[in-house]
Amino acid sequence: MRLKVLIVDDESLARSRLRTLLGDCTAPAVSLLGEAANAAQAVEFLQRQVVDVALIDIHMPGADGLTLARILRGLPHPPAVVFVTAHAEHAVQAFELEALDYLTKPVRLERLQAALQKVERLLQSARGSASDQPEEVLIIQDRGRTERVQLSQVLYLKAELKYITVRTQARSYILEGSLSELEEKFKSRFMRIHRNALIARAAVRALEKNYDAEEGEGWAVRLEGIDELLSVSRRQLTAVREVITNPYS
């Protein structure tokens, strides 16, 4: 697993230096997802992308790096923060903001790798804690067979007469129950797109113009892993657009 990195520094030469160092990193492996020249650009980027670590300069025009770090703490999935600065006097403030490390320029490769290894250990610890939690499942009764379907594999739930179709990438299942009850129980994972359908937020790929034989011209959502399109009601259109632009909201 490569660490996803964002560089935030107003000096292009400093960003170039970090790019070079990141390219030389071998432990851990990294992927540079983006660069920002100021705090505003960084926030805009992180509203569209999730990264594991942000390498942040402190002295920048506008909001400085310390202010940016405070803003990032309010994100749904905040990155780890490593400050990269020519000034050592802000170290105490940096660690009060729970920065994972504080590097002074010129940054050495060994020192950068050590900071990134801290990020890697933090992520591994978080994944370990998450894996200790039992996986949420749906219990499916099918022709005398009882099957556990992991909720993380479910792409959509669609009400059809007295039953609910449970769709994974591999196949469909039939479940007895109430769509409204499932929506309430699993609202962090699923969102309603129509009176008869819930979709997995993480599976949303695209929103497309679509013609439906029953409803005419409208919109439909495309999900990862399947070709089927699902109609989106006008009432839910804004919410679906928001999930596409900011899936972690």
Give the per-residue pLDDT at 94.
66
Distance CA 68, CA 20 (A): 24
- Amino acid at position 53, single letter: V
User: What whole-number distance in Å separates Cα of residue 68 and Cα of residue 58?
Assistant: 9
Output the pLDDT for position 22: 93
Q: To 10 degrees, what angle do helices 12-24 and 109-131 make? A: 70
- In the structure encoding, which two tokens stand for residue 195, read together? 């009176």
Residue limits of CATH 2.40.50.1020 in the chain: 137-245
- Range(s) of the chain covered by CATH 3.40.50.2300: 3-131
E strand residue ranges, 172-241: 172-176, 190-194, 197-200, 204-212, 216-223, 229-232
Mean pLDDT by 10 residues, the chain (249 residues): 91 94 88 94 91 93 91 88 82 73 90 91 73 71 80 92 91 90 90 93 88 80 90 90 66
| CATH code for the part of the protein at 3-131 | 3.40.50.2300
Distance CA 42, CA 32 (A): 14
User: What is the reported pTM?
Assistant: 0.53
What angle, 0 to 180 degrees and rounded to 10, lies between the N-to-C axes of helices 39-46 and 65-72? 20
- CATH fold for the domain made of 137-245: OB fold (Dihydrolipoamide Acetyltransferase, E2P) (2.40.50)
| pLDDT of amino acid 134 | 62
3-state secondary structure of 117: helix
Residue 214, helix vs strand vs coil: coil
Residue 83: the pLDDT is 92
Cα 5 to Cα 140, 166, 239: the distances in Å are: 41, 36, 29
C-alpha dist (Å) from residue 50 to 5, 47, 218: 9, 8, 31
